[in-house]
Amino acid sequence: MKAFVIIFSILTFTAMSQSSSIYDYSFKSIDGENISLKQFKGKKILFVNVASKCGFTGQYEQLQDLHEQFGEKVTLIGFPCDQFGRQEPGSESEIKAFCQKNYGVEFLMASKIDVKGGGQHPIYKWLTHSELNKVGDSKVAWNFTKYLVGENGTFISQYSSRVNPLSEEITNQLK
């Protein structure tokens, strides 16, 4: 039995380290629909861990503006997360209602996930581990950390919570 566990662990780690395409991953939308990242090939993807009760929550407005201005070139995906200061305590339906009522959010929203730690979602493992993204290691330090991936699935950059979604740092990458 020990040999099986060891072999299974080695195969799992090897598969993880060999899976270098972001397009190998999927997630559940805030409405419970399975979404494969394959459908976004040819567009950039901006991943943002979001929260409704954070000092950066106002960035929803700029994210929606970014979606409206650059939606043909980039897919925005908001990933609600309650790992930073318990600032996303609501259910998916509460989060969705909050975002639509207060910020008119129309961009894609995922179900609530973990972006760090033992329960880290596989997409965020790819975004934060160099053995998967082939660029570098990073940490999600707080809500509204942003990760940009290119049209061909390559990791472009990470932006801190303090970087406004409409900053030139991000928009120059979308032009």
Q: Nearest 5 degrees, angle CA 121-CA 63-CA 104? A: 105
In the sheet that holds 74-80, the strands lie side by side as 108-109, 74-80, 44-50, 146-149, 155-159
Mean of all residue pLDDT scores within the chain: 91
For residue 19, name the pLDDT band (cuts at 50, 70, 90): low
Residue 62 pLDDT exceeds 80:
yes
d(CA 102, CA 35): 25
Domains of the chain: 20-174 (3.40.30.10)
**pLDDT value of residue 20:** 77
Residue 98 pLDDT exceeds 80:
yes
Q: What mean pLDDT comes out for the span 44-53?
A: 98
Q: What mean pLDDT comes out for the span 143-167?
A: 97
Annotated active-site positions, please?
54
Residue 164 pLDDT exceeds 70:
yes
% of the chain at pLDDT higher than 90? 88
pLDDT in tens, 67-91: 999 999 999 999 999 999 999 999 9
